[in-house]
Structure 1
Amino acid sequence: MADPATLLLVTILAIGLLLMLVLWVKLHPFLALLITAMFLGIASGMPLEKVSAAIQNGLGGTLGFVATVVGIGSIFGQILETSGGTEAIAKTLIQWFGKKRAHWSLSIAGFLIAIPVFFDVGFIILVPVVYALAKDTKKSTLYYAIPLLAGLAVTHTFIPPTLGPVAVADMLGADLGWVILVGAIIGLPITIIAGPLFGTYIGNRILVSPPPHVTEELAKGDETDEAHPLPSFWIVSSIIGIPLLLMVVKSMIELFIKLGYMHEGTFYEVASFLGHPFTALIIATLIAAWLLGTRRGYTRKELLDISTKALAPAGMIILIIGSGGAFKQMLIDSGVSDVLAQLISKTQFPPIILAFIIAAAVRIILGSATVSMITAAGIVGPILDAYALSDMHCALIVISIASGATILSHINDSGFWLVGKYLGLTEIQTLKSWTVMETIIALGGFAFALLFSFFV
């Protein structure tokens, strides 16, 4: 093993190599992370056969959990999307709140919908609702779009089973139940601040009308699918809540056992089994397939096609997460994690702050939230063993990493262009609205996580 100074230099060079491969060479993040991991191992003096073994172990160890959760979760979300569950939530909430408070209902709808559905999919499905409201009320499109985007972004960032938090939680060894609970507690007030409050502010200052080409889309959006009408709001909401409830209950029972209020037994074993992410998501997916699929006229062939379609976009993200696991394993096997742990413990630098800084730096330079989360988790995860952290503290570090990976979305982020294109914004308008909203979410999430970390 090389000396500590050399290992630190190699780590800095490895991160620089990762950025160069993605930004300049335009290599896919999956390959870039694997190459970076190899460079780190070789440059730190590891035997070549151990370099290959570390990559294999890192990939396998990460994907064994994450790939299963992402795969089941993708099918679950696709069923909700195809059945009209996402539209049912949005339209029902707008009816309850009324058009005057529709921006609040869209924020809540985004918060719920992003739990099972990918961020960009949820936005594309519901953006016609934003257009229709803006057209009817003569308000700026941003008045309604920002609350929807904030709800989607907060859940996408903080609450499993969305991809980022699941991957980071696995790499840090954090309990998903606690991440869900902490993410929801932190996420709700941030959704209000970044959504309806900021949306009202920016919507009154940047007047943007729906793009001219949306007239036909609005007309199509009003048509009713007689074969598959929208499902019940309560059914959809209950189905979304099933896996979250099961995982949170499992975590709470484990906490009560640690505190001595309960004892292990048959009830704990059953709750632990049902609350495992695999079981909880399978149960929710089967119920969704029955209630939103079979009972509403979908054939078995249609449900099979829905499941197949769901796995296509998830595959590449799974590979990126797996390569991040290989990078993390290389940090451990090369001895870099031990050096970092000793260095940080001597400076008394809290890992929750380090996690945010690393994720934010990669995010601003690289643009990809997923790669930013994976990189930060790969560096921070191995050094957490040097600290006696509670389950909740680990969950807060997950939130800190997710927050850093959300900050300052700009021209190198695909989300920046997605939002700008659909809302008909200029680059300056997108920076003033979408970028500021993302930064509010990032700073708010980090501030709450840091504050709570002093009490757990």
Structure 2
Amino acid sequence: MTSTGPSLLALLAVSVVLIVLLIARLKLHPFLSILAGTYTFGLGALAVGELSGADGPAIEDLNGVVAEGFGNILAGIGLVILFGTIIGKVLERTGATVALADGVLRLLGDRQPALGMSIIGWITSIPVFCDSGYVVLSPLQRSIARRTGKNPVVLGTALATGLYASHTFVPPTPGPIAAAGNLGIGPSGLVWVIVFGMGVSLVTAAAGLLWAQRMTAGLESSLPDAQQSFEEYKAQFERIPSLGRSLTPILLPIGLMAVGSVAALPTGEDTTLVDGALGTVVAFVGVPAVALLLGVVAALLLLPPSRDEEALGTWVGEGIVDAAVIITITGAGGAFGAVIGASPIPDEIQALLGDGSSVGGVLSLLVLFAIAALLKTAQGSSTAAIVITSSIAAPLMETLGLTGELGPVPIGLVLAVMAIGAGAMVVSHVNDSYFWVVSQFSGMSVTTAYRAHTAATLVQGLTGLVVVLLLGALLL
């Protein structure tokens, strides 16, 4: 580590604490709080670089990096949040969520709604980003809360942790599939990442579910209709759509994204599972924003003719307003992450790791977990933490003792992906867009979201680490 390394890491910690204090204690809006933390770290990094006598600034063009980070994250997820929120608003206003809640609870029973939300989330997030999945499924979570009388915080946390588990471990979600590629796992080895990822993610999903059921039942939600009975809510609608029609706006975008992800799986050096013109079409409709736009169209088809004018105006407008808060906060988080990425922090972590010769085997899995956890907590994005950590570790796999094989399984590399995924769960807090999606759509205050969602992601990450270390002890 260079002489400025400790100062930069301390500055990063101060910036994160500042964001938390501004939001939780001073009640400053999260958008302004995250920007304050962003500029605190950015300007502080410039000062550290200047005082150290560096040849150039620690961050080239701070304002440009902030703007680029803000814009890039919105380019990736802004339309997803917007379209998903509109779908949710239409599903609620047409009564489609009533049909969905009845269907899910007929299948799983009224006594296990949290288990149902966890299972639905785990399946959904294999092909779909957890942010997108939560936005699309949040109306179902709220309707089941009314139907069963269960605390929306419990159901929201169960849904969030189910989504989060498969998001960080199971390809074709972008993070783990990128880590596999960075570490040198070829197409033939990717199936083992999927197999081990499913196993580890199911255990972490169960840990999140237990946390939701046992530790969040006493927390309160600010959803205005959270205390309304299901029958009172149901009586508001003149005609409720059928279960099949109600499912379409949710399953259509999820299905399109899933098909797009699977079709893009590599089958060779320059080929994918679906190539040619068909591959182009599948790739286009599988883009989350396009898939969710088609979901909006499917949702609008639920409208009774007498309500078209109101729906196309008021309901869609309400969805846009609801999405605006989350979108702006998400953009600020993207700016913070971009500033950290543009600083010397990633290089300091590489220098701290050195050539990797001081660690090996199971201990190296712990090191990979720690690096991913540091990056995740600092900059917010699980996918970015996975990609950066795997890029740092890629040239060190042999030195770290993680190139061993177990028959046809590149077990060392597979467990490295699992360790990085577990680290990328620790923790989701105010600089993570997923934190705001979960808290806003579940009616959690920041304090409540820390006690429910953030704590659950810590439990999940540590659970994943324990599972990976046990597998390492047995298989490496």
TM-score class normalised by the smaller sequence: 0.5 to 0.7
Displacement of 1:329 after TM fit?
1.6
* d(CA) in 2 for partners of 1:200, 1:269: 48
Instruction: Assess if the C-alpha contact under 8 Å between 1:103 and 1:147 holds in 2.
Output: yes
Are 2:104 and 1:93 equivalent residues in the alignment?
yes
The reply to whether residue 271 of structure 1 matches residue 282 of structure 2 is: no
Within-5 A mapping of 1:172-183: none
How far off its partner does 1:43 sit? Answer: 1.6
Letter in 1 for 2:106: Q
Match of 1:35 in 2: 40
Q: Say if 1:355 and 1:108 are closer, same or farther in 2 by CA, change over 3 A.
A: same
- Given that 1:78 and 1:307 are in contact with CA atoms closer than 8 Å, whether structure 2 keeps it comes out as yes
1:399 to 418, 421, 430: 421
Amino acid paired to 2:465? F
1:324 corresponds to 2:337 = yes
Shift of 1:32: 1.1
2:89 to 41, 57, 82: 82
CA contact (8 A) 1:191 1:441 kept: yes
Alignment of 1:59-70 (within 5 A): 60=68, 62=69, 65-70=72-77
1:446 lines up with 2:465 in the alignment: yes
Q: Which of 340, 364, 376 is the matching residue for 2:352?
A: 340
Alignment counterpart, residue 160 of structure 2, candidates 146, 152, 156:
152
Report the CA distance between 1:229 and its aligned residue.
3.8
Letter in 2 for 1:288: G
Q: 1:341 to 1:55 in 2, by over 3 A?
A: farther
1:291/1:374 CA distance change after superposition, 3 Å = closer
Give CA-to-partner distance per residue, 1:375-433, whole Å, 9 cap, x none.
967984763454469997786466323321159xxxxx99999999979xx99xx96x8
Q: Structure 1 266/48 Cα, relative in aligned 2: closer, same or farther at 3 Å?
A: same
Give the deviation of 1:343 after TM superposition. 6.1
* TM-aligned CA distance change 1:233 to 1:170, over 3 Å: same
CA distance, structure 2, for counterparts of residue 56 and residue 378 of structure 1: 23
Contact in 2 for aligned 1:403/1:442 (Cα 8 Å): yes
SS class of match (1:226): coil
- State how far apart, in whole Å, the 2-side matches of 1:286 and 1:265 are: 25
Within a 5 Å distance, the mapping from 1:274-423 to structure 2 comes to 274-275=282-283, 280-294=287-301, 296-297=303-304, 298=308, 300-301=312-313, 305=317, 308-309=320-321, 310-331=323-344, 335-342=347-354, 344=356, 346-348=358-360, 349-350=364-365, 351-358=367-374, 362=377, 371=380, 380=389, 383-384=392-393, 386-387=395-396, 396=418, 399-406=421-428
Offset of residue 66 of structure 1: 3.2
| In structure 2, distance between residues paired with 1:247 and 1:131 | 34
Query: 1:302: Cα distance to partner?
Result: 5.5
Residue matched to 1:9: 6
Structure 1 counterpart SS, 2:160: helix
The whole-number CA distance in structure 2 between the counterparts of 1:100 and 1:25 is 40
Against the structure 1 CA distance between its residues 245 and 291, is the aligned structure 2 distance closer, same or farther, given a 3 Å change threshold?
same
Q: Is the Cα contact below 8 Å between 1:324 and 1:374 reproduced in 2? A: no
Q: How far apart are 1:39 and its partner, in Å?
A: 2.3
Q: Distance in 1 between matches of 2:227 and 2:264?
A: 48
Runs of 5+ consecutive residues of structure 1 not aligned to the other structure: 135-140, 364-369, 408-412
Write the letter of the residue equivalent to 2:326: P
* CA–CA distance in structure 2, aligned partners of residues 121 and 73 of structure 1: 9
Structure 2 contact 88–138 (Cα < 8 Å) conserved: no
Q: Hey, what's the Cα distance between the residues in 2 that align with 1:336 and 1:227? A: 61
Q: Say whether the 8 Å CA contact 1:66–1:318 is kept in structure 2.
A: yes
AA aligned to 1:339 is A
The 5 Å alignment of 1:46-125 reads: 46=54, 51-53=59-61, 56-57=64-65, 60=68, 62=69, 65-84=72-91, 88-111=99-122, 115=130
Aligned-CA RMSD value? 5.3
Contact 1:396–1:449 under 8 Å retained in 2:
yes
Q: Deviations over 1:333-352 (max 9, x none)?
A: x9535523526565454453
Contact 2:85 2:136 in 1 (8 A): no
In structure 2, the gaps of 5 or more residues are 24-31, 398-402, 404-409, 430-434
**Aligned equivalents of 2:60 and 2:139: distance in 1?**
41
Deviations 1:11-38 (A, max 9, x none): 3332233245335566712331233133
Q: Tell me, in whole angstroms, the C-alpha distance in 2 between the residues paired with 1:417 and 1:65.
A: 23
Distance (whole Å) between structure 2 residues aligned to residue 96 and residue 18 of structure 1: 47
Task: Tell me the equivalent position of 1:410.
Answer: none
Report deviation, 1:155.
0.7
Classify 1:87/1:339 alpha carbon distance in 2 versus 1 (closer, same or farther; 3 Å): farther
Secondary structure, in 3 states, of the residue corresponding to 1:191? helix
Aligned residues: 412
Tell me how far apart the structure 1 counterparts of residues 428 and 293 of structure 2 sit (CA, whole Å). 32
Alpha-carbon contact 1:21-1:32 (below 8 Å) kept: yes
What amino acid does structure 2 have at the position aligned with 1:28?
A: S
Return the alpha-carbon distance in structure 1 between the equivalents of residues 318 and 180 of structure 2: 32
TM score, norm. by length of structure 1:
0.66
Partner of 2:204: 190
In 1, distance between residues paired with 2:352 and 2:276? 38
Q: Which has the higher helix share?
A: 1
CA contact (8 A) 1:250 1:272 kept: no
Shift of 1:267: 1.5
Distance in 2 separating the partners of 1:71 and 1:415: 12
> Residue type of the partner of 1:354?
A
Contact 1:357 1:404 in 2 (8 A): yes
1:120-144 Cα offsets, whole Å, 9 max, x none, are: 996687356335425xxxxxx57x9
Q: Distance in 2 between matches of 1:352 and 1:103?
A: 32
- Residues 97 and 139, structure 2, Cα contact 8 Å, conserved in 1: no
Tell me how far apart the structure 2 counterparts of residues 329 and 208 of structure 1 sit (CA, whole Å): 38
Deviation at 1:221, TM superposition (A): 1.9
Contact persistence 1:76–1:116 (CA under 8 A): no
Q: 1: distance between equivalents of 2:227 and 2:43? A: 52
